[in-house]
Chain A
Amino acid sequence: MEFAAPWGLLAGLSIPTILAIHMFRRRYQEKPIAGVFLWAEIAPTASVGRRRDRPPITRSLLLELLAAAILTLLIAEPLFPTEDVVEHLVFVLDNSASMSAKDADDTSARDRAIARVEEVVEDVPRCVVTVITTGRQPEVLAGPAASPRETEQALRNYRPLLERHDFSAALLLATQVAGKGKVIFLTDGIDADRPVLPQVAVEALGRPLANVGITSASYIVPPMEPEGARIFLHISNLSDQELHRTLTLRAEGAVIHREKIELARRSRKVLTVPVTGSFEIIEATIDEDAMGVDNRVTLIRPKAALVRITNLLPPGRSRRTVERALRATRVTEAADPATADLVFALPGAHSATHESQWVVEFGGDAKGVDLIGPYMIERANPLAEGIQLDGVVWGGVSQEKTTARPIISAGEFPLFTVAKEAQGLRLRLNIDMQRSNLHKSPAGPLLISNIVERRREQLPQLLRWNLHQGERFSLLPPADTGGRLIGPSGDASRLGAGRPILLTAPAQTGVYTIQFVETDFDQFAVNFLDATESDLSRCSEGAEDAPDTSLYGQVQASYAKPMIEAIAALVVLSVLLYNWYHLVGRRHDV
């Protein structure tokens, strides 16, 4: 017996519940009297406590248990297998972009894979089919246990375009679906290093092809030098022959750069193209060849994510140290204290003016202690990333107690602390720079740089605009409201809630737009940049049969359904009538 809704078996918990109710139900000691009518409706029955007792084997209990058992079965929808079984064909289709590469006949491994599936299905007179595509998260393209007709329709949606990825998740899923039957994995090359699953028969349908692809691309705009914008490209010849290509850069509908490239066999050309003009989107293309997806990249101009800074420190070593470090980061701009993202000030001189403002206090105690270590550094905290304090004299340390969380400390003295305030964050460097040598150590500017970078990460904007397929990134939305992601073909999907939102770059290449409250918030581009996958010379044809089986799995084609609904209705009705007669009909006004 199988169950169409096995979760429905949870309803079986009602059986122990009924037993418990009968066991723990309130029982009174019976007392035979004359004239019970004189006692009726005198007062509501009061609780006399519950006592556990052996469940009475009453007709009511037995009927209720029977009804619960039958209703549980009813909810779980039992299916009784019949003799009618069919073959279950399970296919795994390689979803990597090389499957789409076209050969001289203008056919691809994808086309051959579809044809192969249809051929196998046609050879098996009675079958159901499951088709799974590979990927970081495998997807069921057809099925499970779809009809041949459904499979044929589903295969039209098979468009392999992923970068190189691991197939094992899809193969594992397929073997689970197939039970003990065979799985056919259709790919474009026999990979000797691929882990072999005993049930999986591999059929390679690829053909080695010459290919040139853009294998790396970036759009760089130095934060403080917008005029220095440039495009970096890697163009790789992944064939054993010398090839020529023309690189074209287009922006706003016009060609902004074009050049011919000579590519030696198995070579890579690194190109830097200066960009004159602040183009938001630049498209780089090379001549079409076997694989189209790597002939084109779209790059979005990165935006300057500048941290607004106010330095309220008085002239002196502390102020100079901060200014020097800020200049080195090149991601800051001056702002007034009310709107600044980051304020450097003496202890107690400034309070955060808005929720996202960080206040960094520099100050110790002229009568404080001077320390030379050992220093305790909380390495897990990104504020302490790369900090080395060997040889640093941390002078003028105040001995006042604090409840702030220490990031750097020495013994009982907290030296660098973080505390969340009602508004914003307060960071405290418990130091008198006049009595320290921190400014001479790399740790000084690095600490300030870390503070600036961490604050920059909190800015409500993207920090990266050009992404690979499947690359994970985070986004700090302007408010805690749901947003939308509009894809290159105009299809929209909802963004999750939360701050920050964690996203994965989709597989489809192109430009994506993020919207919040129907307003464009930012854009990012997804590109296919994978030299390994672009190398079509590794593609081959061949087959490896499943080592331990040559049989397909079998599934039940139909199930017998017992008349459980009618039986359940009968039993439940009996319970109701019985309980009504015994518990209501003979009970007097209570």
Chain B
Amino acid sequence: MAQRDVDQIAQAASLFGLAIPRTALTGAAGENLGTGVGSSLEFQDYREYTPGDDLRHVDWAAFARTDTLMVRLYREEVSPTVEIVLDASASMASDPQKRSLALNLASFFIVLARAHNSRPVLWLAGERVLRHAGDWDRHLDAVIFDATVDLASVLAANRPQFAHRSLRVVISDFLFPHDAETSLQVLSKGAASLALLQILSTEEAQPAPGMARRLVDVETHEYCDIVLSEQAVATYKERLERLKGAVSRAARRIYGAYSCIVSDRSLLEVARQDLYPAGIVEAR
């Protein structure tokens, strides 16, 4: 079973950092500016002193000029919550490379989040949605991609309590019949930013014409007998493009980022060729 490639994750994390959106964030005190006032060095405004205010923030010079106690307000500096939603359905393990890349990406974003002094949250969407706020590596190593419920269904059924104004990264193949906009409503609700990473195996992205096969869905066990003719493959690709387009459009409407990643490359190549151009990571 393909596992996470720790070295490659470390290498990628040394080259790329989490792209923090310009929209306001919430989170624990940190190095990113939040929406509230806080204790960062960036001056934001004044207001009159009220009992209980930190006396260190009283602008004594302004008191001297105006005889009014004014308190300097500084923009709050926060460390954003990074939530990684990993689709743990069986389709994510339909190909070993795809499975491995999904785990590496999840691990990569946890590393990036931690590099921003953020506390990452891992959401594993299997038969149920489980929240893991620590010991991520152990949880990632224990993931069994065997759920027979698709991501949209499990999210709709479980309604996970995502953090407000968090950065969300969703790792899924999105290969299930769904309405992208409806599916993304749950994922985007209250998010400061949303990145959708659609992972496809080589065969899913570029199926080759060939013999007749019984194609069996790894999740639903539905099947269809089909001759993988050029025409059939072309029709499939056309449908896949429509599906990708729908997810991409839905992501754009909510100012999210979308990237379709084929699993035949290393994490570093994916970061360079897919995540960076999509604005999901930024160069250090």
**Chain A residues in contact with chain B, CB under 8 A?**
26, 28-40, 42-43, 45-46, 48, 586-590
Contacts and interface: CB of A to CB of B under 8 A. Distances in A.
Nearest to A36: B217
Given A586-B221, A589-B224, A34 B236 contact: no
B94 A588 contact: no
Interface stretch (B44-52, B104-112, B172-180): B172-180
Nearest to B212: A48
Contacts of A42: 226, 231-232, 235-236
Contacts of B177: 37
A43 B226 contact: yes
Contacts of B204: 33-35
Given A34-B173, A34-B217, A34-B218, A29 B211 contact: yes
A34 B227 contact: no
B212 A46 contact: yes
B222 A30 contact: no
Nearest to A590: B224
Nearest to A32: B218
Contacts of A590: 223-226
Contacts of A36: 215-217, 220, 222-224
B219 A34 contact: yes
A38 B175 contact: yes
Contact of A31 (B91, B175, B214, B220): B214
Contacts of B221: 586
A58 to B, nearest CB: 15
B254 interface: no
Contacts of A30: 213-214, 216, 223
Dominant secondary structure at the A interface: loop
A587 B227 contact: no
B29 interface: no
A13 B216 CA distance: 34
A582 to B, nearest CB: 11
Interface in B170-228: 173, 175-177, 201, 203-204, 211-227
B216 A32 contact: yes
Of A26, A33, A43, most buried by chain B (CB within 10 Å of CB) is A33
Nearest to B232: A42
Contacts of A45: 212, 225-227
B239 interface: yes
B214 to A, nearest CB: 4
B65 to A, nearest CB: 68
B28 interface: no
A34 B225 contact: no
A392 B218 CA distance: 98
B72 to A, nearest CB: 56
A542 B42 CA distance: 143
A35 B91 contact: yes
When A and B form their complex, which 10 residue pairs have the shortest distance between CB atoms, in order from nearest? A34-B91, A35-B175, A28-B214, A588-B222, A36-B217, A48-B212, A34-B175, A590-B224, A46-B227, A34-B94
Nearest to B233: A42
B19 interface: no
Given A33-B204, A587-B223, A588-B223, A38 B236 contact: yes
A33 B226 CA distance: 13
A36 B203 CA distance: 13
A211 B173 CA distance: 111
26 contacts: A31-B213, A33-B204, A33-B217, A34-B90, A34-B175, A34-B204, A35-B173, A35-B217, A36-B215, A36-B217, A36-B223, A36-B224, A37-B217, A38-B175, A39-B224, A39-B226, A43-B229, A43-B231, A43-B235, A45-B225, A45-B226, A45-B227, A48-B211, A48-B227, A587-B224, A590-B225
Given A31-B215, A34-B90, A42-B226, 6 more contacts: A26-B225, A33-B215, A35-B175, A39-B224, A46-B229, A586-B223
A29 B213 contact: yes
Contacts of A34: 90-92, 94, 173, 175, 201, 204, 217-219
Given A33-B94, A33-B204, A39 B215 contact: yes
B243 interface: yes
B20 interface: no
B173 A40 contact: no
A587 to B, nearest CB: 7
A42 B225 CA distance: 10
B240 interface: yes
Interface in B100-149: none
Nearest to A38: B239
A46 B224 CA distance: 12
B183 to A, nearest CB: 14
Contact of B232 (A28, A39, A588): A39
Contacts of B231: 42-43
A581 B25 CA distance: 52
Contacts of B243: 38
A38 B214 contact: no
A210 B39 CA distance: 151
B213 to A, nearest CB: 5
Contacts of A35: 91, 173, 175-176, 204, 217
A93 B179 CA distance: 90
Contacts of A33: 94, 203-204, 215-218
A429 B217 CA distance: 86
A43 B215 CA distance: 13
Contacts of A32: 94, 216-218
Contact of A40 (B211, B219, B224, B240): B224
A447 B240 CA distance: 93
A49 to B, nearest CB: 9
A48 B177 CA distance: 29
B217 A588 contact: yes
A586 B217 CA distance: 11
Contacts of B92: 34
Contacts of B94: 32-34
Given A34-B204, A35-B175, A36-B222, A43 B214 contact: no
Nearest to B240: A38
Contacts of A38: 175, 236, 239-240, 243
Nearest to B231: A43
A588 B229 CA distance: 19
A151 to B, nearest CB: 65
B222 to A, nearest CB: 4
B210 to A, nearest CB: 10
A486 B75 CA distance: 124
Contacts of A31: 213-216
A98 to B, nearest CB: 79
Contact of A588 (B173, B218, B224, B227): B224
Nearest to B89: A34
Nearest to B217: A36
A32 B64 CA distance: 77
Interface in B5-26: none
